[in-house]
Amino acid sequence: MVNLAIDIGNKKTKFGLFEGKKLLKFFDFLNEKLNEINFPEDLKGYKIHRCGISSVFPELNIEVQKKVKNFLKIEPILLNYKDCKIKMDIENPEKVGIDRILNCKGGSEIFGYPCIVVDIGTAITIDVVNKNKIFIGGFILPGPELWINSLKDTALIKEINKKKTKFIGKDTSSAINLGMEEGISGAIERIVEKLKERYKISKVILTGGWCDYFKKKLNFEKKVRKYLTLEGINIVISEND
């Protein structure tokens, strides 16, 4: 059985084609270029059973649903927190980003619970599933690009420098980038350390577009699952079949 999972994020819309639990194909588009979207033609060669959409960018929902329906001739499902079938001990669950809920669903189903899920993307979310498999909430921090962009006008730098640098910055650009790396790593490590101690959690799952960049900078044991949100979507639509 083949499913298509779609994650409409803040900057990009990501697509994952799954057969069972296996990710067969991944592709993405910048949201600003979504009107130019062209699905790979070979998608038509798969008998796609279901399509689920997670979105934190509501303005794009109708457009993405329309394109899926026209290209694949199936009706996509726009997921909400109730579809995820995970218990939540939080206020106003309908206002929590669906990506956070899907990360917790995917993380706890794949790796077991309790667990901590760290998603490093446009924003950084750190969420907890407790020993009773209940999503109990978490933390939200600005992501790397937000961190850098907040200083761009002052620093006069044009982009994030991902090149390896020495520990101490020798110019403004490297100082800001190192501040971002060490500041974000330190914040994540501090929060994760407290969560592990308070809730007796050993499992930490790292995901998001920046997870590969930060995985060696974070000094705690973790599982890296870059496409965890897509995996969560696939799990949910499979359960709801």
**CA 37: distance to chain centroid?**
21
Q: Is 99 a catalytic residue?
A: yes
> Could you tell me the CA-to-CA distances from 210 to 2, 155, 169, 184, 207 in Å, in that order?
28, 22, 21, 11, 8
CA distance 151 to 87: 39
Q: Helix and strand tally (H, E) in the chain?
A: 7, 11
CA neighbor of 230 nearest in space, from 1, 25, 57 = 25
Question: Which tokens is 211 given?
Answer: 């997870």
Q: Which two tokens stand for residue 76?
A: 């996509």
In the chain, helix, strand, coil percent, each to 5? 40, 25, 30
CB contact set of 117 (below 8 Å; sequence gap of 6+): 100, 103, 104, 107, 125, 126, 127, 128, 129, 138, 204, 205, 207, 228
Q: For residues 86, 88, 94 and 97, what is the CA-based torsion angle, rounded to 10 degrees?
A: -80
Paired tokens of 218: 């974070």
Exactly one of 7, 42, 89, 99 is catalytic; name it: 99
- Contact at 8 Å (CB) between 24 and 2? yes
Active site residues per annotation: 99
